[in-house]
């Protein structure tokens, strides 16, 4: 899909997002920069969390599970696989609108999003099961993602980056140990605020550290937290010094149609890393089973 001007891109994105969400739903970098010169046994909780951030960000692919309560959706469960370079992802989400009884399948590949759903609700789809929408971006920050309102905003960010947000907490403490998905872990906890992350970002020394902390802050903002409300975050780190699981809890809000901030409910999301650096290949659905959103929205002829 090609667009001739920036203005047309924005208009088409907005129109496409509304259409896709209504029809189908019914209604890497991070923060860690601390030194690892101390022996592992002598690391403070903050240093251990920062070390985990760097180690986790070295992953090239991931298979993971998401469970919990998302604002505007309620209880959801998702399983996904992702690759970093190239950026690809496939996900099955249960609990979204009409998909409550049947998981919604989503794929990101080649700069496009493919969604399996009731394409007939969009118009004459010729019986095809998959919808293609582009340009599509997943796994970036609050200003860059474009998932046409199909993927909840809290699931738009890369879990590799989200796992590093605790690094920006002012007070990180060890909260015990435990086993996660059969893996021994150390549990850390802290509260993260926008103000604290801003200060953390400003205190960065060097361009690389500043970029890492900027990306961290951006992922925090993408969660849609209520202004001034803290994010309570738990992180479980495995024996390899890498994130195994994290949980994020907080209150969220959003602008209503009149430009007023309204409470949108609680966020309570747990992400568990099931397999690290697996082989991940995401292929587009068969062309003869896919309808292009551009053709339905614009009435355009197929593009070569």
Task: Give the dihedral sign, CA 81/166/200/33.
Answer: negative
Rounded Cα distance, 32 and 165, in Å: 9
Question: What is the distance between the alpha carbons of residues 143 and 277, in angstroms, rounded to a whole number?
Answer: 27
Domains of the chain: 6-298 (2.50.20.20)
Q: Is 177 helix (H, G, I), strand (E, B) or coil?
A: strand
Q: Is 303 exposed, middle or buried (0-12, 13-18, 19+ CB in 10 A)?
A: exposed
Which pLDDT score, from 0 to 100, does residue 248 have? 98
Q: Is the four-CA dihedral 212, 217, 218, 220 of positive or negative sign?
A: positive
Over 70: is that where the pLDDT of 145 sits? yes
Strand partners, 233: 190, 248
Binned at pLDDT 50, 70 and 90, residue 158 comes out as very high
Q: Supply the DSSP string of 44-56, one letter for each residue.
A: -HHHHHHHHHHHH
Percent with pLDDT over 70 in the chain: 80
Q: Which of 8-17, 122-131, 193-202, 264-273 has the highest mean pLDDT?
A: 264-273
Q: Is residue 171 very low, low, confident or very high in pLDDT (cuts 50, 70, 90)? A: very high
pLDDT in tens, 252-284: 998 888 888 898 999 999 999 999 999 999 999
pLDDT at 9: 43
298/301 Cα distance (integer angstroms)? 9
Determine the Cα–Cα distance for residues 109 and 91; give it in Å rounded to an integer: 12
| CA dist list (Å): 243 to 17, 83, 85, 247 | 33, 17, 20, 11
- CA torsion angle for 174, 176, 178, 184 (degrees, to 10)? 50
* pLDDT at residue number 200: 83
Enumerate residues 6+ apart whose C-beta is below 8 A from 246. 159, 162, 163, 166, 233, 234, 235, 236, 270, 271
Strands 88-94 vs 74-83: parallel, antiparallel or unpaired: antiparallel
Within 13 Å and on the Cβ side, how many CA atoms surround 76? 30
14-57: pLDDT as tens digits: 555 554 554 555 444 456 544 444 456 689 999 999 999 989 99
Question: Six-digit token pair at 159?
Answer: 């879990």
Rg (CA), the chain: 20
31 vs 227, higher pLDDT: 227
Element (H, E) at 33: none
């Amino acid at each position: 899909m090609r667009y001739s001007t920036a203005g047309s891109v924005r208009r088409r994105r907005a129109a496409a997002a509304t259409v896709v969400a209504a029809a189908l739903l019914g209604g890497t970098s991070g923060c860690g920069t601390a030194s690892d010169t101390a022996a592992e046994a002598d690391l403070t909780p903050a240093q251990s969390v920062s070390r985990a951030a760097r180690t986790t960000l070295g992953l090239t692919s991931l298979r993971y599970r998401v469970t919990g309560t998302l604002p505007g959706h309620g209880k959801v469960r998702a399983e996904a696989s992702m690759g970093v370079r190239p950026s690809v992802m496939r996900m099955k989400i249960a609990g979204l609108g009409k998909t409550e009884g049947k998981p919604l399948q989503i794929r990101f590949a080649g700069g496009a999003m493919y969604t399996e759903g009731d394409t007939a609700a969009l118009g004459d789809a010729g019986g095809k099961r998959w919808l293609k929408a582009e340009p599509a971006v997943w796994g970036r920050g609050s200003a860059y993602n474009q998932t046409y309102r199909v993927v909840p905003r809290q699931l738009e960010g890369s879990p590799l980056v989200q796992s590093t947000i605790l690094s920006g907490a002012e007070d990180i403490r060890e909260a015990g140990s435990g086993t996660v998905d059969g893996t021994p872990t150390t549990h850390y906890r802290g509260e993260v605020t926008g103000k604290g992350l801003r200060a953390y970002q400003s205190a960065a020394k060097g361009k690389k550290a500043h970029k890492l902390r900027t990306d961290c802050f951006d992922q925090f903002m993408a969660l849609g937290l209520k202004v001034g409300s803290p994010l309570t975050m738990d992180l479980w780190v495995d024996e390899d010094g890498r994130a195994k699981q994290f949980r994020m809890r907080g209150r969220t809000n959003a602008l209503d149609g009149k430009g007023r901030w309204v409470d949108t409910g609680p966020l309570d999301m747990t992400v568990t890393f099931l397999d690290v650096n697996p082989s991940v290949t995401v292929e587009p659905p068969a062309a003869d089973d896919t309808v292009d959103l551009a053709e339905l929205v614009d009435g355009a002829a197929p593009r070569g």
